[in-house]
Amino acid sequence: ECSLSLWWRQQPHSVVQRRLLEGNLTKLKGESKAHTTWVQSPLVKDKDDWAEKKENDRRKETISLLIYCKCQGQVLRAAVNTGCQQNLISLSCLKQLGLEEVSDADCGDLSLLVPRVVGQVECVEVQLGQETVVCSALVVDDETLEFCFGLQTLLSLKCCIDLEEGVLRVNALSQELPFLHASDEHGQ
């Protein structure tokens, strides 16, 4: 009777426990995986497909930190990028705004730090909210961005990125600029 009681306590009490134990028996018996055939439950496959789809959707909806600003009277979508020291402006945006660029030779070693640098512009007047700031920017041959605020400018303006509220606080100008939503980011 004592051995029956011990046996009963060691037995799985649910279908899940039984199936888990059955799956582990082949490992306990020392069978190699080459001889073992694993059949994946459709529920697990659906869960894996759902997780993969959710990850892909999350990557697609990853929103860059973009804000609206104005330059030369035109509205621009500007990226906020703490990973880049300098401000960046695309060559096409520079031409569209009619700004003058300094030659590539005057960029010095900056072209080594940022790929595809083709020049530099010294005085860019950018309107953030109601205030205007003057800054310089590297001109890049990259059409994926119009303008990008780099870390130097963000620090000089005492900016605070508030992801919970979805705003860029420009403390030096007492301005709050909302980040663009996914639909705004793609120009929809």
Range of lowest pLDDT (4-13, 59-68, 117-126, 152-161): 4-13
Q: How far apart are CA 128 and CA 68, in angstroms?
A: 8
What pLDDT band is residue 145 in, cutting at 50, 70 and 90? confident
Whole-prediction pTM value? Answer: 0.61
pLDDT band at 30, cuts 50/70/90? low
From the CA atom positions of the chain, what is the Rg in Å?
29
Average confidence (pLDDT) over 16-39: 56
Provide mean pLDDT across the span 1-22: 57
pLDDT band for position 134 (cuts 50, 70, 90)? very high
Q: What are 66's two structure tokens?
A: 């973009």
Angle (nearest 5°) at CA 109 between 104 and 111: 55
Band the pLDDT of 64: cuts 50, 70, 90.
Answer: confident
Single-letter residue type at 114: V
**Separation between Cα atoms, residue 186 and residue 94, nearest integer Å:** 20
- At residue 101's C-alpha, the angle toward residues 95 and 106, to 5°, is 150
Fold of the domain spanning 71-155:
Cathepsin D, subunit A; domain 1 (2.40.70)
